């Protein structure tokens, strides 16, 4: 019993005193077991000789601010303690060796699957029986419960990401069509940036390559004629495989000057539950929306609905020229309570409909960390709710904030099913990008249910694969089905899609399908068309209509003579995403090659977004090396 209590106190020591102001470096890293390579949650990380410490999260990651010449001490039940001196790098990864003797002397329960299994398979069972025999009751808390008691403000990490299975190569004589919904969301890029800036590589499923590509602006030709956007393309060599082609498809939405935008009826639907109390949640949310309020005109109107334990309206529909009234309502918001997300959404749609502007921009802006846990909480229930409500003609923009319980899949479903878009705001500059710089694209839809279908010519294409868009794929028959929901395009928005193509005659190591057993494996004879590579078909609807409009363009079977910065930069971003995901299609492509391509195609970069990505690539490369 005494040994158990001593170990419990050792785990919890040092977490009561505030961090000394002299600390000057933030060290991050990951702790794993040397025996099996699995992450160790709940490891105590202490600055030696001080009471400054932290605990690793469920993935074994930690972050601690310490003085420049510190020594870190890593302690965990059943493992040999380890010390580490600070190095030039701010990333220190640790492998702890098992301590068989210690495992035989302690009782450990409630540390999730890993520690429960290890401890209960050890002589700890004997110790547990001894405690029972002595009629001593020792309540062992879950790791999160222990930390919530002894670490004020601690919140367990419950972030979730839907699994992404990378698109593979398909043979056009068996699968001639590739069909998908456009995606103008850019949440994945800013979320990836948050991880890297925090000293960690992002989870693979947090990396959506199409959202990374579409985070950036591209200089496409302005639309001409009757359609509200233009479609263009380029064909070059794939940087990661020079035997393959890379086809770049770019869409440019019509740009509309602010003064010419229709009047807006906006409902701010704001999560003010207890989970939003962190500085990068509700406080950042307030600052972000203040930027948007400053852009409003007299003809625009704003309402504010909040939800926590219950939902309510805190500001009735108010003219955009009454900025002080709107700002005061925002400033008075405070976080607390649970999360009645379903009730809040219903109320927001009702208020939006009550103040509906015919021919205007009627939109709900939902700002949350995605932690819906009261009312309609499952992705399916929220999807049904939003699908039913979008029939009102009200569009939905979803803004994600914070870390620790960010629910990516839930946020994406809300935006997709609500005829809207999704952005993740990790700092005030990102808020300015989304809500000021891209005001029209974020809030004003010029085309809805935009679908692309590419038909590949088996006479020139041996195999193809769509890069990214894994969660935007549609059945081929959905292309002509006007009842099938798809993506929306905002004013001034650009959309970029990339295909990797294996030309006919190339001996590639990527075999799309196995040989058939009951049918001939030979490709059917073509009509002799070797001039076309593929045809890009597109359908869209006007925002207030339900019948789609069709257009198409042919991509010729030839390399573009002078590839633009658009092509090279999108390829560089795609390669960054593939490197982060450990793609199976990289061959020997490295961060060094990706960085070289990114630096050469950075272009004017007025806002510095591309230079920032280059820095992120450099940081990710260093972090990758420390893991090897």
Average pLDDT over residues 229-256: 96
- Contact call for residues 585 and 240 (beta carbons, < 8 A): yes
- Contact call for residues 549 and 447 (beta carbons, < 8 A): no
Q: Do the strands 71-75 and 25-33 form a parallel or antiparallel pair, or are they unpaired?
A: unpaired
Q: What's the pLDDT score for residue 157? A: 62
Q: 25: Cβ–Cβ under 8 A, 6 or more apart, which residues?
A: 65, 66, 67, 68, 70, 86, 90
Whole-angstrom Cα distance, residue 565 to residue 320?
Answer: 39
Confidence band (pLDDT; 50, 70, 90) for 439? Answer: confident
Residue after which a domain boundary falls, among 391, 412, 443: 443
Among the residue ranges 49-63, 85-99, 172-186, 374-388, the one predicted with the least confidence is 374-388
- Contact call for residues 166 and 583 (beta carbons, < 8 A): yes
DSSP code of residue 458: T
Whole-angstrom Cα distance, residue 15 to residue 396?
Answer: 42
Structural domain containing residue 422: 258-443
Residue after which a domain boundary falls, among 443, 470, 491: 443
Whole-angstrom Cα distance, residue 367 to residue 398?
Answer: 6
pLDDT digits (tens, 9 = 90+) for 131-187: 333 333 333 333 444 444 344 444 556 677 889 999 999 999 889 999 999 988 889
198, 253, 393, 584, 597 from 189: Cα distances, Å: 14, 21, 29, 21, 19
pLDDT digits (tens, 9 = 90+) for 193-226: 999 998 899 999 999 999 999 999 999 999 998 8
- What burial letters (b/e) apply to 178-206, b meaning 16+ CB within 10 Å? bbbbbbbbbbbbbbbbbbbeebbbbbebb
- Contact call for residues 17 and 46 (beta carbons, < 8 A): no
Average pLDDT over residues 303-311: 83
Q: 565: Cβ–Cβ under 8 A, 6 or more apart, which residues?
A: 219, 601, 602, 603
Residues 283 and 296 in one domain: yes
Structurally, how many domains does the chain consist of? 3
Half-sphere exposure of 155 (CA within 13 A, CB side): 14
35, 81, 105, 399 from 99: Cα distances, Å: 11, 9, 11, 46
Q: What's the pLDDT score for residue 155? A: 54
Confidence band (pLDDT; 50, 70, 90) for 413? Answer: confident
φ, ψ of residue 95 to 5 degrees: the values are: -115, 115
Q: What's the pLDDT score for residue 379? A: 58
Residues 262 and 247 in one domain: no
Residues 239 and 337 in one domain: no
Total Cβ atoms within 10 A of residue 555: 23
Residues 275 and 297 in one domain: yes
pTM: 0.73
Mean pLDDT for all residues in the chain? 82
- What burial letters (b/e) apply to 38-76, b meaning 16+ CB within 10 Å? ebbbbbbbbbeeeebbbbbbbbbbbbbebeeebebbbbb
Q: What's the pLDDT score for residue 322? A: 96
Q: What angle do CA 68, 70, 75 make, to 5 degrees?
A: 140
- Is 237 inside a domain boundary? yes
Q: What's the pLDDT score for residue 527? A: 55
Residues 237 and 280 in one domain: no
Residues 453 and 564 in one domain: yes
Q: 586: Cβ–Cβ under 8 A, 6 or more apart, which residues?
A: 240, 575, 578, 579
Residue after which a domain boundary falls, among 422, 443, 464: 443
Among the residue ranges 77-81, 183-187, 237-241, 303-307, the one predicted with the least confidence is 77-81
Confidence band (pLDDT; 50, 70, 90) for 522? Answer: low
Confidence band (pLDDT; 50, 70, 90) for 526? Answer: low
Average pLDDT over residues 6-12: 42
- Is 519 inside a domain boundary? no
pLDDT digits (tens, 9 = 90+) for 322-344: 999 999 999 999 887 665 566 78
Residues 6 and 75 in one domain: yes
Residues 397 and 499 in one domain: no
Tell me which residue of 221, 165, 248 sits closest to 496, measured CA to CA: 248
Number of residues in the chain: 628
- Is 510 inside a domain boundary? no
- Whether residue 611 is predicted with pLDDT greater than 50 in this model: the reply is yes
Q: What is the CATH number of the domain that holds 439?
A: 3.40.50.410
Whole-angstrom Cα distance, residue 336 to residue 271?
Answer: 10
Task: Tell me which of 3 and 531 has the higher pLDDT.
Answer: 531
- Whether residue 494 is predicted with pLDDT greater than 80 in this model: the reply is yes
Whole-angstrom Cα distance, residue 151 to residue 42?
Answer: 12
pLDDT digits (tens, 9 = 90+) for 366-408: 998 876 554 555 556 667 777 777 778 899 989 989 876 677 7
- Is 539 inside a domain boundary? yes
Residues 366 and 474 in one domain: no
Q: What's the pLDDT score for residue 267? A: 95
Angle between helices 379-389 and 341-354 (to 10 degrees): 10
- Is 157 inside a domain boundary? no
Residues 111 and 213 in one domain: no
Q: What's the pLDDT score for residue 183? A: 84
Tell me which residue of 535, 413, 458, 589 sits closest to 175, measured CA to CA: 458
Average pLDDT over residues 80-100: 87
Q: Using CB atoms within 10 A of its CB, is residue 504 exposed (0-12), middle (13-18) or buried (19+)? A: middle
Residues 398 and 488 in one domain: no
Confidence band (pLDDT; 50, 70, 90) for 524? Answer: low
pLDDT above 70 covers a percentage of the chain that reads 81
């Amino acid at each position: 019993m005494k040994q158990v209590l001593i170990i419990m106190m050792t785990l919890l020591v040092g977490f009561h005193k505030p961090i000394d102001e002299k600390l000057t470096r933030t060290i991050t890293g990951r702790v794993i077991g040397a025996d099996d390579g699995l992450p160790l949650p709940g490891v105590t990380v202490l600055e030696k000789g001080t009471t400054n410490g932290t605990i690793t999260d469920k993935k074994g990651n930690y972050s601690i601010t310490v003085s420049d010449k510190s020594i870190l001490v890593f302690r965990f039940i059943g493992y040999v303690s380890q010390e580490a001196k600070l190095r030039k790098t701010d990333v220190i990864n640790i492998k702890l060796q098992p301590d068989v003797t210690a495992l035989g002397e302690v009782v450990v329960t409630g540390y999730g699957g890993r520690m429960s299994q290890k401890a209960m398979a050890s002589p700890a069972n004997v110790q547990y029986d001894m405690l029972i025999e002595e009629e001593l009751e020792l309540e062992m808390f879950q790791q999160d419960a222990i930390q919530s008691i002894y670490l004020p403000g601690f919140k367990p990490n419950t972030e979730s990401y839907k699994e992404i299975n990378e698109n593979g190569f398909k043979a056009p004589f068996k699968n001639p069509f590739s069909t998908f919904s456009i995606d103008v969301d850019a949440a994945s890029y800013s979320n990836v940036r948050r991880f890297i800036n925090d000293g960690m590589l992002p989870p693979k499923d947090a990396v959506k390559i199409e959202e990374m590509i579409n985070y950036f602006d591209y200089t496409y030709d302005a639309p001409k004629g009757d359609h509200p956007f233009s479609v263009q393309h380029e064909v070059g060599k794939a940087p990661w495989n020079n035997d393959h082609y890379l086809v770049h498809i770019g869409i440019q939405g019509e740009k509309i000057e602010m003064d010419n935008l229709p009047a807006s009826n906006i409902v701010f639907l704001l999560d003010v539950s207890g989970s939003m109390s962190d500085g990068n949640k509700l406080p950042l949310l307030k600052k972000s929306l203040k930027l948007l309020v400053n852009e409003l005109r007299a003809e625009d109107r704003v309402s504010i609905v909040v939800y926590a334990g219950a939902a309510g309206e805190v500001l009735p529909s108010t003219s955009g020229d009454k900025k002080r009234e709107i700002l005061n309502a925002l400033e008075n918001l405070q976080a607390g309570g649970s999360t009645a997300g379903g009730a809040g959404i219903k109320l927001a749609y009702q208020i939006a409909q009550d103040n509906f502007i015919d021919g205007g921009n009627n939109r709900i802006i939902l700002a949350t960390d995605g932690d819906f846990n009261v009312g309609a909480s499952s992705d399916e229930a929220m999807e049904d709710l939003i699908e039913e409500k979008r029939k009102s003609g009200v569009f939905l923009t979803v803004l994600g904030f914070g870390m620790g319980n960010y629910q990516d899949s839930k946020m994406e479903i809300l935006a997709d099913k609500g005829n809207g878009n999704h952005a993740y705001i990790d700092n005030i500059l990102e808020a300015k990008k989304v809500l000021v710089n891209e005001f029209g694209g974020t809030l004003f839809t010029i085309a809805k249910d935009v679908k692309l279908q590419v038909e590949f010519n088996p006479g020139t294409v041996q195999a193809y694969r769509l890069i990214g868009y894994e969660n935007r794929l549609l059945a081929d028959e959905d292309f002509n089905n006007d009842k099938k929901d798809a993506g929306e395009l905002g004013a001034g928005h650009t959309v970029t899609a990339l295909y990797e193509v294996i030309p006919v005659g190339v001996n590639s190591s990527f075999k799309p399908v196995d040989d058939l057993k009951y049918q001939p494996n030979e490709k059917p004879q073509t009509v002799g068309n070797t001039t076309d590579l593929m045809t890009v078909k597109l359908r869209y609807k006007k925002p207030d209509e339900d019948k789609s409009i069709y257009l198409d363009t042919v991509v010729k079977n030839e390399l573009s003579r002078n590839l633009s910065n658009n092509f090279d930069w999108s390829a560089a971003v795609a390669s960054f995403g593939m490197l982060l995901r450990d793609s199976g299609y990289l061959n020997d492509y490295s961060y060094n090659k990706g960085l070289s391509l990114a630096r050469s195609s950075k272009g004017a970069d007025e806002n510095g977004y591309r230079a920032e990505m280059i820095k992120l690539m450099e940081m990710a490369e260093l972090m990758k090396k420390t893991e090897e």
